[in-house]
Structure 1
Amino acid sequence: MKTGFVAAQLVSQIQAWGQELAFSQIGVTGVDLSAAEPGLNAWLQAGFHGDMGYMASHGLKRARPAELVPGTVSVITARMDYLPRDTPEGWQAIEFSRLQRPGEAVVSLYARGRDYHKVLRYRLQKLAERIAAEVGPLGHRVFTDSAPVLEAELASRSGQGWRGKHTLVLNREGGSMFFLGEIYVDLALPASEPVSEHCGACTACIDVCPTQAILGPQRLDARRCISYLTIEHAGPIPEDLRPLIGNRIYGCDDCQLVCPWNKFAQRSSLPDFDPREGLTGATLIELFSWSEDEFLRRTEGSPIRRIGHERWLRNIAVAMGNALSAVVGEEGDALRQALATRSAQPGALVREHVAWALECGERENRFREGSAGS
Structure 2
Amino acid sequence: MAGRRSGRAELRGSRLLSEAPHLRNAIAREATKLGFDAFGIVAPDAIPDALPRLQEFLDDGAHGDMEWLAANPQRRADPRTLWADVRSIIMLGVNYGSSDDPLQILSHRDRGAISTYARGDDYHELIKSRLKALARWMVAHAGGDVKVFVDTAAVMEKPLSEAAGLGWQGKHTNLVSREFGSWLFLGSIFTTLELPRDTRDESRCGSCRACLDACPTDAFPQPYRLDARRCISYLTIENKGPIPREFRKAIGNRIYGCDDCLAVCPWNKFAQEGREMKLKAREELRAPSLADLARLDDPAFRALFSKSPVKRIGRDRFVRNVLIAIGNSGDPSLAPEAERLVGDHSALVRGAAAWALSQLLPKDAFAEVRRSRLTSEADPVVRAEFAPAT
- Partner of residue 86 from structure 2, selected from 69, 72, 84: 72
How many matched pairs?
A: 352
CA apart distance, 1:232: 1.0
Where does residue 226 of structure 1 map in the other structure?
Answer: 232
Where does residue 27 of structure 2 map in the other structure?
Answer: 14
Say if 1:17 and 1:112 are closer, same or farther in 2 by CA, change over 3 A.
same
Where does residue 352 of structure 1 map in the other structure?
Answer: 351
CA distance in 2, matches of 1:365, 1:287: 27
- Partner of residue 110 from structure 1, selected from 110, 113, 117: 117
Partner AA of 2:43 in structure 1? G
Contact 2:44 2:88 (8 Å CA) reproduced: yes
CA distance in 1, matches of 2:112, 2:281: 14
Per the alignment, in what secondary structure is the counterpart of residue 50 of structure 1? coil
CA distance in 1, matches of 2:136, 2:257: 34
Contact 2:320 2:349 (8 Å CA) reproduced: yes
CA distance in 2, matches of 1:40, 1:254: 24
CA apart distance, 1:59: 2.4
Report the RMSD for the aligned CA atoms in angstroms.
Answer: 1.9
Contact 2:216 2:251 (8 Å CA) reproduced: yes
Equivalent runs, 1:248-259 vs 2, <5 Å = 248-259=254-265
- Provide structure 2 residue ranges, at least 5 long, that are not aligned to the other structure: 1-12, 366-390
CA distance in 1, matches of 2:85, 2:179: 34
Identity, % of aligned positions? 40
- Partner of residue 45 from structure 1, selected from 59, 63, 74: 59
Where does residue 59 of structure 1 map in the other structure?
Answer: 73
- Provide structure 1 residue ranges, at least 5 long, that are not aligned to the other structure: 367-374
CA apart distance, 1:288: 1.2
CA apart distance, 1:270: 5.3
Contact 2:54 2:73 (8 Å CA) reproduced: no
Where does residue 166 of structure 2 map in the other structure?
Answer: 160
CA apart distance, 1:349: 0.7
Q: Does 1:300 align with 2:299?
A: no
Equivalent runs, 1:189-208 vs 2, <5 Å = 189-208=195-214
Where does residue 24 of structure 1 map in the other structure?
Answer: 37
- Partner of residue 261 from structure 1, selected from 261, 267, 289: 267
CA distance in 2, matches of 1:73, 1:353: 50
CA distance in 2, matches of 1:10, 1:308: 44
Contact 1:80 1:268 (8 Å CA) reproduced: no
The answer to which structure, 1 or 2, has the higher relative contact order (CA under 8 A, 6+ apart) is 1
Q: Does 1:188 align with 2:176?
A: no
Q: Does 1:315 align with 2:317?
A: no
Contact 1:83 1:268 (8 Å CA) reproduced: no
Partner AA of 1:65 in structure 2? P
Partner AA of 2:173 in structure 1? T
Deviations 1:92-137 (A, max 9, x none): 3xx323111211110011110110000000000100000000112x
Larger Rg: 2
CA distance in 2, matches of 1:237, 1:203: 27
CA distance in 2, matches of 1:123, 1:226: 30
Per the alignment, in what secondary structure is the counterpart of residue 249 of structure 1? strand
Deviates more, 1:334-343 or 1:276-285: 276-285
Partner AA of 2:134 in structure 1? L
Contact 1:103 1:283 (8 Å CA) reproduced: yes
Say if 1:239 and 1:133 are closer, same or farther in 2 by CA, change over 3 A.
same
